[in-house]
Structure 1
Amino acid sequence: MADIAAADEQAKPSVPGRLTLEAWSQGFMVGALIIMCGITFANMRREVLLHKLILIELILAIPNGFFIFFDPPVWGWYLSSTVVPLIMSWTLHNVIAWMKSKPFLGRRGNLIYIGSVLLVQPYWILEIYANFAYFNSHDSHLFIRTRPFEAAFRDPWWIFTIINLFWNIKFRYELGFIEIVQVSPRFGILLLCMSLSVISIVVDILSVTPVVPIGVINPFWKFAFVFKCFTDSIILDDFKAALDKLSRHRMSQILPFSILGDAVSERGFVRGSQRERKRPRKHGGNLDAKSITEMDMISSGQAGTSIELSDVSGLCPLSPALVHHIEHKPPGGN
């Protein structure tokens, strides 16, 4: 019975239910990756290496989503050959996760993170051989033994990245998760995709063990991979830059005029007159017992000055803020 089950796993799915499930999951993965490629290409900055790596990660994984269309022996050859760029995409995802988490890690943490990613590459060489031998030869069952360990050599860095991000959100930035969703729905979707990817990883591990004996070909690793890629394309920059923008937005709600001054001086989002002059002006009459001297900002040729702020990153849905100068006149004045 075990030999029959192994032979069924090695051959192209013939049971209508399994064939439909695999075809649907491949279509889901390819469609999602193509959409993410378009979104990434439209929003990427071509001089930023991180953005280029995200686009390459998505492109490398697409070919593996078409092997269901072929019949043996092309089916096995195509499946195994496209596993090579797929594994490269998985490894590149860990590199991207490291680059996004790099500002939160010290020198030692960065070395351990990227060094451990490099140390597991011999396993992937073995996995490529085992995959090719399994689906193109009926004599090798090495892939059945190596497949359950696949997640252990692919996902620990991603799990660490998620935990590290949640920890920094909670303790370093002191941001609540509900507050993040309210301020930036995009960041809320990022956290949701991270959670769904972890759930899919757990189900994938169970599906290649006797706990949930679905088999080595199952859709759950595709779900996990798509959700991981979503986290890369939703926010292209590193996590610290995104959280800094959220933190500044929160502070702008607490101290709007203080942040307003900083934003104007740092970003230069000043609309209106480029040349302004100051002049002293005295108020008289019944306004006060003493003359009050004010410094009025008078725009050349305009009655007031307006300052408009916007969030160029699109991370925080800020409405434009206008600050108007109002000139006070003494009672009875013209």
Structure 2
Amino acid sequence: MASISTRAPGDPVAANLTREQAIVEAWAQGFSVGSVVILILFVLCNYRRKILLHKLILLELFLAGWHGIFIFFDDPAYGWVLSSTAALLYISYNLHNVISWLKIKPFLPRWGGHLFIISLLLVQPYWVLETWANFQYFNILGNNLFKHSRYFEPLARDPWWIFTTVKLVMVINKNYGYTLIGLVKTSPRFGIMLLCMFLSIVFLATDVAVTATISTQSGINPFWRVGPPSPPPTPQLTPKRLG
């Protein structure tokens, strides 16, 4: 028997998802979790037990991989699982930036390395607030701050890894005399990585644009917002009288 929502029609709970929204969200989360699983397999193929960086990358992916399973739950577990796994995802974001710092630190001056990690530490209060706001919003605990705070996620999440990517390309170009095209020809895998980084930046811009312009509700990701609208209600038809 289908559960009946006791929440308001606009609340972000599982029972208020239309069939079309649930399908699109399930596909989105399936792609997300599946991509993390593939990345874990890639890391395991090159894993070295004594290398700290490999351990941190595996931990980062392990934490991120849980966010998506919430789609299998009904209310009220839906909101609690979503927010709990989102908290793990936020930790994964920051661990990713710590990994970026470890990668780029040898190529930065001493003050640059300090500035990188200190600036990352300075945004941690935001993530504490965002975790609280996420629990409040998706579990209908009385505060809708998440509708507004989510807009700032890219600023607290992405500058560090984007800087690391650009800086590494510049370092390789300067120290090894490779042009970008020559580097891609020499190492196609590096070219694939750069392509993925570029697509990530495009998706980031899309996420921000869709969040700010298309939807007035703060959903989970752009797929949720641009999902097919629910069909209009079927009109009540009355049979024509004969004669």
TM-score class, shorter: 0.7 to 0.9
Structure 1 166/192 Cα, relative in aligned 2: closer, same or farther at 3 Å?
same
CA distance in 1, matches of 2:204, 2:150: 13
Partner of 1:129: 132
Partner of 2:169: 166
Partner of 1:181: 184
* Residues 1:49 and 2:52 aligned together: yes
TM-score by length of 1: 0.61
Which residue of 53, 77, 80 corresponds with 2:80?
77
Which residue of 74, 91, 99 corresponds with 2:94?
91
CA distance in 2, matches of 1:53, 1:136: 31
Deviation of 1:171 (Å) = 3.6
CA distance in 1, matches of 2:199, 2:45: 25
Q: Secondary structure at the match of 2:212?
A: coil
Greater gyration radius: 1
Q: Secondary structure at the match of 1:194?
A: helix
Which residue of 206, 214, 219 corresponds with 1:216?
219
Q: List runs of 5+ in structure 1 lacking aligned partners.
A: 1-5, 222-334
Structure 1 161/117 Cα, relative in aligned 2: closer, same or farther at 3 Å?
same
Q: List runs of 5+ in structure 2 lacking aligned partners.
A: 1-7, 225-243
CA distance in 2, matches of 1:110, 1:141: 37
Deviation of 1:25 (Å) = 1.1
Identity of counterpart residues, as a percentage?
49
* Match runs of 1:1-334 below 5 Å: 8=10, 10-12=12-14, 14-137=17-140, 139-210=142-213, 212-213=214-215, 215-219=218-222
Q: Counterpart amino acid of 2:10?
A: D
Deviation of 1:179 (Å) = 1.3
Deviation of 1:174 (Å) = 2.9
Q: Counterpart amino acid of 1:68?
A: I
Runs of 4+ in 1 over 4 A off after TM superposition: none
Q: Is the 8 A contact 1:127 1:143 kept in 2?
A: yes
Q: Counterpart amino acid of 1:121?
A: Q
Deviation of 1:170 (Å) = 3.4
Q: Is the 8 A contact 1:67 1:78 kept in 2?
A: yes
Q: Is the 8 A contact 1:23 1:68 kept in 2?
A: yes
Q: Deviations for 1:35-54, whole angstroms, at most 9, x for unmatched residues?
A: 22122123111101001000
Deviation of 1:23 (Å) = 0.6
Deviation of 1:139 (Å) = 2.9
CA distance in 1, matches of 2:107, 2:79: 43
Paired positions, count: 215
Deviation of 1:116 (Å) = 1.1
Deviation of 1:90 (Å) = 0.4
Q: RMSD of aligned C-alpha atoms?
A: 2.0
TM-score by length of 2: 0.82
CA distance in 1, matches of 2:192, 2:72: 33
Structure 1 9/28 Cα, relative in aligned 2: closer, same or farther at 3 Å?
farther
Q: Is the 8 A contact 1:203 1:220 kept in 2?
A: no
CA distance in 2, matches of 1:166, 1:204: 25
Q: Deviations for 1:114-143, whole angstroms, at most 9, x for unmatched residues?
A: 111111111111001100000111632110
Deviation of 1:167 (Å) = 2.3
Q: Deviations for 1:60-117, whole angstroms, at most 9, x for unmatched residues?
A: 0111111011111010011111112111100000001111111211110100101111
Query: Larger relative contact order (C-alpha < 8 A, sep ≥ 6)?
Result: 2
The structure where helix makes up a greater share of residues is 2
Deviation of 1:22 (Å) = 1.1
Q: Is the 8 A contact 1:22 1:219 kept in 2?
A: no
CA distance in 1, matches of 2:151, 2:165: 22
Partner of 2:235: none
CA distance in 2, matches of 1:94, 1:206: 23
Deviation of 1:213 (Å) = 2.7
Deviation of 1:7 (Å) = 5.3
Q: Counterpart amino acid of 2:215?
A: P
